Structure formats: structure tokens, C-alpha cells
């Protein structure tokens, strides 16, 4: 029925003469209203603080749902077409599921009109079969954040250019991890949790998880298994699960081992938002004692995309909202200066990148550094099945690191689980 035009019919009985006058006209969807759903209040802030002031005649009906419940809410309405939002946010973990679904509005025209000024990798994540279905206002390249005091203590310098030589590739990183352990008599570990290396190793792949309809384990992911087992066995990592209390304690200089002996954590692998929402939020007393470097390889972590339902009754309004929030020069410049968020508009980034100095990083210009890192990020390996596959790979990695299974058994079990759950 949703394919049929809806009509509003008004029937007026005319008693005089016994006639009936019937007037019917096509019902028009309001062109100044959009229903927007999100899993993050970030989008709500962009709409309220930037979009609405620039578009006072537009009515936005905004709904916020937790990340954990968002897809459960969105899936049925997109499939049925009943109560579907016009525009919605999509998190990095599940954006490709929808980009590949056939349920999104084609917004390739927005990309074509702005392609000379926007960063490519977020577009690649939001594209499928040569068409664009999701766009982002931000870029989230990753870096390595390290403690200046520990670098000075064990490497003899806290200069980012010099420290980068100790992290220039993954092999050198392992050599540095041994050097930190040796010089500190076991007190200093390279990282707090081995899981911090997952995103860099994912970025080192040549192929995605699924190739020609079958599971493919890239050699980089096998090297990841070898590396994290080595980190664990050699005592190069703090054995604190990522996002755990211990992981955060390491940022504050308060991590202890199972014997309650203090452990110094040299560095954390984190993206753009890791500076503002992880380090600065959880370790404010360490301000000024951090610096950032590119690390072993370009990688990305996180981000939010905007997309629209393919059958929205207001496609032009939906496209205008997405275009404004992801490409507009004036708004993105104002927003970037206010938030410190790395936007995907290269024109804006090049204009403002020299204006930043981050006290938390000892005055370092993190914005200019991230702008360079973003240029080398690859967004073409992302697939809709990643979230499910990587959940199983995470479990497999833990089993191997903890010595519960051999590497061969872990890989065999991982393949069997992926086949059972996804048919790959």
C-alpha cells in the first residue's frame, strides 16, 4: 500500500437538489518537516546549534535512543516502512550493515557536488557498488598517545619526532616494548591492553574479512594473534582489558599488577575522540604530560554517518540536511573551532589546522597532526559483516592469549563459528 498515492477526499452533501459534490486532492507530505533518529546526542547538538539557526523554517522531530537499542528500533521500521525516520545516524560498528541493505536513499549527488573538498575515506565507508548512501561530517584517524615523563625517563627524550622512530612500524614497536621493560626493570609496559592493537592491525590488511563470499583471514590478522600473545607472555602489556577499570587506571598512573605492584603505562593507541573523551576525561591530572605520534601505521576508529530512508516522503529535505551537516564550509569551520573535532571538509581543515595548541599535549598541535594522518586512512575494507565476525575474533583472540587453545585450534574454531552464524 505504501506504493499507492494517498488521497484526501472531502465529500460535501448538497441537500438542495439532492446532489453530491465530491472533491479529492492528493495529500502532500510536509516539505518543511523531517524525522531524525540518532544513537548519539552529537547529532542533536549539530541540528540544534547549527542546522536550525540556518534553517528556521524547518521542523525537526528528533529522537535519541541508546546505541545498544538503536538498531533494534531502526531495523523493523526500515523493513516495513511503517514509522521510519527520514534521516538517521549510523555508528561505525553498524554503518555498513545499512549501506549494503538496499534500504537507504542514494545520496551520490551530494558527494559529486562536494567531492573536491571532502576527505575520501568516510565516503568509501558510506559507499556500496559505486553509489554513496552515507556521509559523515568528521574523520577519526588513530594515533599513539604517550606519557612525556616516561619517554624522557626511559628513552631520553619526549620529542614526538624522536619518539616516533621507536614506533615507526610494528616490528620496531616490539623492540621498543622490550627496551621499556628492560630499562624499567619490568615496571613500564608499552601499552595497557593488547586489544589496543586491533585497529592498527585491521588497517594493515590487504583484504577484508569476506572475499568472494567466503571468510578470509588476512595474514595481518594472524600476525595480530602472534603479536598480542607475545605482548602478554613477555609482559609488554598491562593485562588490563580495554575499557576496564585497569585500562583507565593506567592513564592516571595508578595501574597495579596482580601483586599490587605499580605498573607504568607508556602509551595508548586512540583516535581523535580518544583525546577529548577518553584521556582528558579520565586522566585530567596528567594534563601536559602527554604527546601524540602517528605510530606504526595509519588506522581509523569510530565515527558517525548520516543516511536517509529510501522511501522518505521528503527526499530533498533529507538530502539538504545531510549535505549541510557534512559539507557546509561556514558551519563546519565554526563547529571545528568550537569542538576541536576533525571535520571531513579538507578546505576547512587546511584553513584552520595551524590555529590549534592543545595544553593537554604540552602545547602540541593535535589538529594538524590528525589532518595528516587522515589522508592515509583506508575506508574500503569495511563490510556489513564486520561487527559479527570481529565479535567472534575477539573471543578467539582472548582464548589464544590466555593459553586456552593453540593458534591452530583458535583459527579452526573461529572459522567454524563464522560459518555456523553467518554461513561464510
pLDDT digits (tens, 9 = 90+) for 160-173: 999 999 999 999 99
Indicate whether 126 pLDDT > 50: yes
All 3 cell numbers of residue 288?
601536559
Closest CA to 221 of 246, 200, 202, 238: 202
Residue 298 · residue 180 · CB < 8 Å: no
Neighbours of 381 (CB within 10 A): 16
Residue 218: pLDDT band with limits 50, 70, 90: very high
Q: Does residue 57 sit in helix, strand or coil?
A: coil
Predicted confidence at residue 31, as pLDDT, reads: 74
Indicate whether 348 pLDDT > 70: yes
All 3 cell numbers of residue 199?
585497529
pLDDT digits (tens, 9 = 90+) for 7-31: 333 333 333 344 433 344 444 556 7
Distance CA 112, CA 388 (A): 32
Closest CA to 383 of 31, 24, 97, 79: 97
The percentage of residues in the chain with a pLDDT greater than 70, rounded to a whole number, is 93
All 3 cell numbers of residue 336?
571545528
Domains of the chain: 33-140+303-356 (3.40.190.10), 142-300+380-422 (3.40.190.10)
Predicted confidence at residue 23, as pLDDT, reads: 41
Span 178-205, average pLDDT = 96
Using the structure block, give the residue that is written with the C-alpha cell 619526549: 158
pLDDT digits (tens, 9 = 90+) for 260-269: 999 999 999 9
pLDDT digits (tens, 9 = 90+) for 268-289: 999 999 999 999 999 999 999 9
Predicted confidence at residue 30, as pLDDT, reads: 60
pLDDT digits (tens, 9 = 90+) for 298-344: 999 999 999 999 999 999 999 999 999 999 999 999 999 999 999 99
Q: Does residue 138 sit in helix, strand or coil?
A: strand
* Among 14-23, 64-73, 81-90, the least confident range: 14-23
Span 202-209, average pLDDT = 96
Angle at 411 between CA 204 and CA 415, to 5 degrees: 95
Predicted confidence at residue 3, as pLDDT, reads: 36
318 phi, psi to nearest 5 deg: -65, -45
Residue 133 · residue 110 · CB < 8 Å: no
Distance CA 84, CA 277 (A): 31
Span 348-366, average pLDDT = 96
Amino acid at each position: 500500500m505504501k506504493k499507492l498515492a494517498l488521497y484526501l477526499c472531502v465529500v460535501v452533501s448538497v441537500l438542495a437538489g439532492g446532489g453530491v459534490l465530491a472533491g479529492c486532492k492528493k495529500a502532500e507530505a510536509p516539505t518543511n518537516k523531517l524525522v531524525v533518529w540518532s544513537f548519539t546526542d552529537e547529532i542533536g547538538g549539530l541540528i540544534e546549534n547549527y542546522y536550525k539557526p540556518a534553517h528556521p523554517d524547518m521542523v525537526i522531530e528528533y529522537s535519541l535512543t541508546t546505541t545498544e537499542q538503536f538498531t533494534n528500533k531502526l531495523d523493523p521500521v526500515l523493513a516495513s516502512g511503517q514509522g521510519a525516520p527520514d534521516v538517521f545516524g549510523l555508528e561505525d560498528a553498524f554503518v555498513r550493515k545499512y549501506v549494503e541493505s538496499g534500504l537507504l536513499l542514494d545520496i551520490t549527488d551530494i558527494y559529486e557536488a562536494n567531492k573536491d573538498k571532502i576527505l575520501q575515506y568516510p565516503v568509501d565507508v558510506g559507499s556500496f557498488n559505486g553509489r554513496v548512501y552515507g556521509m559523515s561530517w568528521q574523520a577519526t584517524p588513530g594515533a599513539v598517545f604517550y606519557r612525556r615523563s616516561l619517554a624522557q625517563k626511559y628513552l631520553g627524550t619526549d620529542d614526538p619526532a624522536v619518539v616516533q622512530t621507536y614506533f615507526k612500524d610494528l616490528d620496531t614497536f616490539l623492540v621498543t616494548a622490550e627496551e621499556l621493560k628492560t630499562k624499567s626493570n619490568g615496571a613500564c609496559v608499552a601499552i595497557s591492553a593488547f586489544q589496543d592493537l586491533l585497529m592498527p592491525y585491521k588497517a594493515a590488511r590487504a583484504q577484508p574479512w569476506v572475499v568472494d563470499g567466503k571468510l578470509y583471514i588476512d595474514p595481518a590478522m594472524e600476525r595480530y594473534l602472534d603479536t598480542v600473545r607475545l605482548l602478554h607472555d613477555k609482559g609488554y602489556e598491562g593485562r588490563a582489558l580495554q575499557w576496564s577499570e585497569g585500562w583507565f587506571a593506567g592513564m592516571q598512573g595508578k595501574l597495579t599488577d596482580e601483586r599490587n605492584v605499580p605498573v607504568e603505562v607508556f602509551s595508548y593507541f586512540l583516535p581523535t575522540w580518544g583525546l577529548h573523551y577518553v584521556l582528558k576525561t579520565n586522566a585530567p591530572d596528567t594534563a601536559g604530560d602527554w604527546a601524540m605520534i602517528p605510530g606504526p601505521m595509519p588506522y581509523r576508529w569510530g565515527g558517525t554517518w548520516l543516511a536517509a530512508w529510501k522511501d522518505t516522503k521528503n527526499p530533498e529535505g533529507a538530502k539538504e540536511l545531510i549535505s549541510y551537516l557534512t559539507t557546509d564550509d561556514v558551519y563546519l569551520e565554526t563547529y571545528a573551532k568550537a569542538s576541536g573535532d576533525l571535520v571531513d571538509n579538507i578546505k576547512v581543515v587546511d584553513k584552520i589546522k595551524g590555529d590549534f595548541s592543545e595544553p593537554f599535549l604540552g602545547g602540541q598541535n593535535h589538529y594538524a597532526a590528525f589532518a595528516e594522518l587522515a589522508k592515509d586512512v583506508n575506508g574500503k575494507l569495511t563490510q556489513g559483516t564486520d561487527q559479527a565476525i570481529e565479535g567472534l575474533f575477539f573471543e578467539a583472540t582472548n582464548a589464544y592469549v590466555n593459553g586456552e587453545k593453540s593458534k591452530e585450534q583458535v583459527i579452526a574454531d573461529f572459522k567454524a563459528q563464522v560459518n555456523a552464524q553467518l554461513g561464510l
